[in-house]
Amino acid sequence: MTAVTATADTKVKRRATAEERRARIAGVVLILLAAFVLWAFGLNVDGDLDATFRLALPTDRFTDINWVVNSQLLGFIVAAILAFLGGRQLRTANFKWTNVSIAVAMGLFALAFLGWAAAGESFSLVGMLRSTVLLSVPVTLGALCGLMGERVAIINIGIEGQLLTSAFVAVILGSAFNIWVALLGAVLTGGILGWVLAVLAIRYRVDQIIAGVAINIFALGLTSFMASRVLADSQSLNAPGRISPYAIPFLSDIPLLGPMFFDHSLFVYGMFGLVLLVHLGLFYTRWGLRSRAVGEHPKAADTMGINVFRTRYINVILGGFIAGFGGAFLTLSQVARFEENLTAGVGFIALAALIFGRWRPFGVLAAGLVFGFARALQTKLGILGIPVPSEFLLMIPYIVTIIVVAGLVGHARPPAADGQPYIKQ
Amino acid sequence: MSDSGGMPADQENPEPEAPSGEPDWFRRVTGIGSSLGQSLMVPALALVTALVIGAVIIAVTDVDAWRAWTDESPGEALSMMWASITDGYKALFRGSLGSRNAISETLFAATPLIIAGLAVAVGFRAGLFNIGVNGQMHMGGLVAIYLGFTLSLPAVIHVPVVLLGAVIGGAIWGGIPGLLRAKTGAHEVITTIMLNFVALFFVDYVLTTSFYQEQGRLDPISKPVDASARLPRIFGGDFRVHLGFLIALALVAFVYWLLFKSSIGFEFRAVGFNPDAARYAGMSVVAVFVAVMAVSGALGGIAGANQIIGLEPFRGTTNFAAIIGFDAIALALLGRSHPVGVLWAGLLFGGLRAGGRAMQGEAGIPIDLVLVVQALIIVLIAAPDLVRALYRLKPEEAAATQLTKGWDA
């Protein structure tokens, strides 16, 4: 440890150059991307074809809003912007702009891709963006749950299990009582599993990864067991009903943004509300300051009179409530019935979103939307008959996460004490 | 448990920030330093406890019994619940040990579990947590499929070639997270989880390409491997146990030799015990991380090949590795990361799986109960204090299972 402090100065300097190097790598990547867009979505496209993006749903107040654009032209423009961004990164190595440039480039690339995919056809952009928001809900809520834990240094691999179990409980309670009892039960279930994780990790100092893996296996086993033993015979217990959407007056009439954001069930509004709430709580309240202290340096926090264990318990359980809310979304919003392993890896995409979003609520939301977009694109491409195997789109969240944790683009820094048990002296 | 006792835990630096904080979990997981009786006590009690909780779950989910309960006959309800439990566990026992065929089924189910469990155990010994056995099985299996239906060789050569291909496929897929960990510090837990999904989708993609896909099918399913690439049954055609089981036994011996008798295994364990000390002793931690993950991945690859050339329908299907990669974590924990321990644990889980099928068929109790039992075993093994508290045992020393020290290691 002493060697580290002695070379602290040089280390700061080296970090700066490493970031500059990353900025340059990003520049090269952007230029390569520009070349690819120029070739694949520009030169390769028939110049006469227009892409028609539909910006309104048939049920909207203002229908027939379309954006017609020449596919080739769109490709050229995007390629030019990408080349400009890349060139600037390469020349100035300004690492403050690295992430912004990459984010903008990703969005533009997606647009050029859609322009190519929809060349000569009409494509419901609003429909896809709407399903992007819907698909991001369980991912974002799961990632927020993980964030609540990791900010106080408890790694939660069990998000998948929390989502699955609360989705199951929501189905049972929704069928037996009503959707509001179901929602409450699901939220509590998430919290209970959070509590279990906290007890194992804090009281029994079980390795947090193992505790999380056990929670996932337990959840998969128990819900599948109950589904075939109880639900298979009593189908009436597998029909919970749905929480209906509520269109916010006036706002939902705004073209494009209305159907995207303001015509949903309470889960979508809840997701945005929770992201804001966690952000404000984490960075502007005493609770947030204490939580972050516990996650970064528990010993110092303890010395300052913060109860490390209690803070960890509370945050992991609160996170569990959020995951429970996300689990309820899976069975009370659209599908409204339970099937074995219905989460199918959403909890792990949430884990990826947590890392991709760099342990920040709005970062997590952005990551959730990006991953939701990839998923929405995957379903839509099948309809357009595009020769890109959907499996590769499904891989995107996972590959992106590997790139991020490896520090190839940007660097993700988790809370300093993440994963370490705290032993009170 | 061939190692010397090691130093008592209280001499270790208890600071959580200490870079050398791993011996604590290492002693716990491997059971090194405790006597044989002690190291068997917790697993045995964990198994019993998990089965008791499983019995409670069977009872409370007995829908017919609850109907009897509401019909004002609690006595009848209780006896129905008791019957459910006894029928279920009797079937579990019959299906795993009750006949020659049951024993064959147990060994058959244990084969991939033992091999995959060894993969995780090798990682644990070096302080690396390979959650990616699932992905390594898929990638190894994919190579096995390819070599299995493209080559035409006599069986004596074909089977080894297929297995070698699976070893290479698994080793590369396992080596990637090792390399990333060594070079960039990206934690292997995250990268292996992510690579699992990448492999899962990659398999789905490959199995729908016209080269791999069975003709006339639209779902991801491969052509069958040639008869010469299939593992022959060892006790006659009536029993499903095949050559793979003997391969698993050989791998147990090989891993034992590798870890405890070879110098490379010494380096594995030294890095797992204390990476900083190993570095000061002149070992290349980078090379060891990559080597460990590659060996672990290679074992995963063999387990994957087993799922292709060892059982009907001798083809690749979507998610053909199923959850064996996760069972493997439980196995390695239960077997204390010792090859022989993994063998016993694999036989136990193989029995649970074979018996679970009988339980589902004869007593109508879904096999998913086995998963619940496994999860409980993991928790109880990883939290020995919980078992001791349940049974009022004398606490050994306060030791916790900690494998990982955060993402940024």
Q: Is B211 on the interface with A (CB under 8 A)?
A: no
Please name the member of A230, A406, A408 whose beta carbon is closest to the beta carbon of B63: A230
> B343 pLDDT exceeds 90?
yes
What pLDDT score does B112 carry?
Answer: 96
Residue A400 lies in a domain: no
What pLDDT score does B175 carry?
Answer: 95
Interchain pair A213, B205: CB under 8 A: no
Q: Is B121 on the interface with A (CB under 8 A)?
A: no
Residues 314-353 of B with CB under 8 A from A: 323, 326, 329-330, 333
Cα–Cα distance measured from residue B196 to residue B190, given in angstroms and rounded to the nearest whole number: 10
Residue A365 lies in a domain: no
Residue A1 lies in a domain: no
Main-chain dihedrals φ then ψ at residue B399, nearest 5 degrees: -130, 140
Please name the member of A213, A355, A398 whose beta carbon is closest to the beta carbon of B329: A213
Interchain pair B186, A391: CB under 8 A: no
Would you list the DSSP string of A298-329? HHHHHHTT--HHHHHHHHHHHHHHHHHHHHHH
A214 and A292 within one domain = yes
Residue A112 lies in a domain: yes
> B69 pLDDT exceeds 70?
yes
What pLDDT score does B51 carry?
Answer: 92
Residues 6+ apart with CB under 8 A from B36: B1
Tell me which chain A residues have a C-beta less than 8 angstroms from the C-beta of B25: 207
What pLDDT score does A119 carry?
Answer: 79
What pLDDT score does A355 carry?
Answer: 85
Please name the member of A209, A230, A394 whose beta carbon is closest to the beta carbon of B403: A209
Q: Which amino acid makes up residue B7?
A: M
- Between A352 and B195, where is the model more confident? B195
Residue A389 lies in a domain: no
What pLDDT score does B32 carry?
Answer: 45
A176 and A115 within one domain = no
Residue A209 lies in a domain: yes
Give, in degrees to the nearest 5, the angle at Cα B184 between B327 and A350: 50
A191 and A243 within one domain = yes
Interchain pair A417, B19: CB under 8 A: no
Q: How many domains, in total, are found in chain A? A: 2
A133 and A116 within one domain = no
What pLDDT score does B36 carry?
Answer: 57
Summarize the confidence of residues B88-92 as an average pLDDT.
92
What pLDDT score does B2 carry?
Answer: 37
**Torsion angle of alpha carbons B192, B197, B201, B202, nearest 10°?**
0
A232 and A112 within one domain = no
Domains observed in chain B: 100-367 (1.10.3470)
> B312 pLDDT exceeds 60?
yes
Cα–Cα distance measured from residue A146 to residue A193, given in angstroms and rounded to the nearest whole number: 13
Interchain pair A221, B371: CB under 8 A: yes
Interchain pair B375, A215: CB under 8 A: yes
Secondary structure element (H or E) that encloses residue A123, with its range: strand A122-124
Interchain pair A210, B202: CB under 8 A: no
Interchain pair B371, A220: CB under 8 A: yes
User: Which pairing describes strands A263-264 and A246-247: parallel, antiparallel, or unpaired?
Assistant: antiparallel
Interchain pair A208, B333: CB under 8 A: no
- The residue out of A342, A359, A376 marking a domain boundary is A359
A312 and A342 within one domain = yes
A229 and A115 within one domain = no
- The residue out of A96, A120, A144 marking a domain boundary is A120
Give which of A334, A335, A324, A322 is closest to A364, Cα–Cα: A322
> B3 pLDDT exceeds 60?
no
What pLDDT score does A409 carry?
Answer: 56
Q: Token pair of B365, please?
A: 């109790």
Summarize the confidence of residues B180-203 as an average pLDDT.
90
- The residue out of A306, A338, A359 marking a domain boundary is A359
- Report the number of secondary-structure helices (H) and strands (E) in chain B: 16, 0
- Nearest-Cα distance to chain B for A246, in Å, is 35
Summarize the confidence of residues B179-202 as an average pLDDT.
89
Cα–Cα distance measured from residue B115 to residue A415, given in angstroms and rounded to the nearest whole number: 36
Interchain pair A395, B201: CB under 8 A: yes
Residue A368 lies in a domain: no
Q: Alpha carbon of A42 to those of A19, A205, B303: distances in Å?
A: 32, 57, 46
A57 and A159 within one domain = no
When scoring B179, B190, B369, B371 by the number of chain A Cβ atoms within 10 A, the one with the most, hence best to mutate, is B190
Q: Do residues B193 and A405 make contact, with C-beta atoms less than 8 angstroms apart?
A: no
A135 and A90 within one domain = no
Residues 6+ apart with CB under 8 A from A193: A158, A161, A162, A165, A166, A215, A219, A320, A323
A295-304, B158-167, B168-177: the lowest-pLDDT one = A295-304
Question: Residue B398: which pLDDT band, with cuts at 50, 70 and 90?
Answer: very low
What pLDDT score does A6 carry?
Answer: 45
In which residue are the tokens 């944790």 written? Answer: A405
What's chain B's average pLDDT?
Answer: 84
Provide ipTM, 2 decimals: 0.82
**For A214, which residue in chain B has the nearest alpha carbon?**
B375
Residue A421 lies in a domain: no
What pLDDT score does A5 carry?
Answer: 45
In which residue are the tokens 């036994």 written? Answer: B249
- The percentage of residues in chain B with a pLDDT greater than 70, rounded to a whole number, is 87
What pLDDT score does B144 carry?
Answer: 95
User: What count of other Cβ atoms lies within 10 Å of the Cβ of residue B154?
Assistant: 8
What pLDDT score does A364 carry?
Answer: 93
- Between B109 and A411, where is the model more confident? B109
What pLDDT score does B406 carry?
Answer: 53
Question: Residue B15: which pLDDT band, with cuts at 50, 70 and 90?
Answer: very low
Interchain pair A407, B401: CB under 8 A: no
A315 and A174 within one domain = yes
Count of alpha carbons within 13 Å of B293, Cβ hemisphere only?
A: 28
Cα–Cα distance measured from residue B27 to residue B21, given in angstroms and rounded to the nearest whole number: 11
Cα–Cα distance measured from residue A18 to residue A311, given in angstroms and rounded to the nearest whole number: 36
Q: Is B257 on the interface with A (CB under 8 A)?
A: no
Task: Please give the average pLDDT of every successive group of 10 residues along chain A, which has 425 residues.
Answer: 45 59 81 88 81 78 78 88 86 74 84 83 84 93 95 93 96 91 96 95 88 92 91 81 84 81 90 96 94 92 91 96 95 86 89 88 92 84 74 85 73 77 77
A201 and A348 within one domain = yes
Range of A19's domain?
Answer: 15-120
A195 and A58 within one domain = no
- Nearest-Cα distance to chain A for B6, in Å, is 21
